Structure 1
Amino acid sequence: MAAAFLPPSLITVIWGFIGIVCPLFAKGPNKGIIQCCLMLTAACCWLFWLCCYMTQMNPLIGPNLSRHSILIIAKEWGNEITNTTTT
């Protein structure tokens, strides 16, 4: 169970550092814009990662290939399947 808790925690800490700590070191005349960009970047990247991570945890649908598609893929990858139909 701890293995499933580690990746979200680690990524949250990394993006939290970028979004909270890094803006404190911004300098120059555009300090506010740089801080805003860093915080928005961190929030958007973390949210995108979280959505992708959670989607892969329990996918709603799997691949649905027709027999013809499987035969074409097998042929292209060098594992040609003989088309034997039993009647």
Structure 2
Amino acid sequence: MAADYTIMIGFTVFWGIIGIVLPIFAPKGPNRGILQLVLMLTAATCWLFWLCCYMAQMNPLIGPKLDNKTILLIAKEWDLNPRE
């Protein structure tokens, strides 16, 4: 599980730098506030999207587990000819 934490911390630091540190260095001008907001929102949404994808892979949703008798019955009823 240590690798999971290092990946999570690494990506959090990466997007934290983009969302917290880079807005500080935005060039001065009339649109500086908008540029800072864009950087912060981009970092927050990209991090959240990455987190959702990462967590979905940790605990994937799988289909129902059917035993062999049920699968054969379904195949017979649907004319799939599993063992002919």
Q: TM-score range with shorter-chain normalisation?
A: 0.7 to 0.9
- Tell me how far 1:84 sits from its aligned partner: 7.6
In structure 2, what is the equivalent of residue 13 of structure 1? 13
Measure the CA separation in 2 of the matches of 1:60 and 1:84. Answer: 27
SS at match of 1:53: helix
Query: How many residues are aligned here?
Result: 69
- Tell me how far 1:3 sits from its aligned partner: 1.0
- Tell me how far 1:2 sits from its aligned partner: 1.1
Measure the CA separation in 2 of the matches of 1:84 and 1:21. Answer: 61
SS at match of 1:61: coil
Q: Which amino acid aligns with 1:20?
A: I
**Cα RMSD, aligned residues only:** 2.2
TM-score (norm: length of structure 1): 0.70
Residue segments in structure 1 that go unaligned for 5+ positions in a row: 65-82
Moved over 2 A (4+): 83-86
In structure 2, what is the equivalent of residue 42 of structure 1? 43
Measure the CA separation in 2 of the matches of 1:84 and 1:46. Answer: 46
Measure the CA separation in 2 of the matches of 1:84 and 1:53. Answer: 37
TM-score (norm: length of structure 2): 0.72
- Whether 1:61 aligns to 2:62 is yes
Residue segments in structure 2 that go unaligned for 5+ positions in a row: 66-80
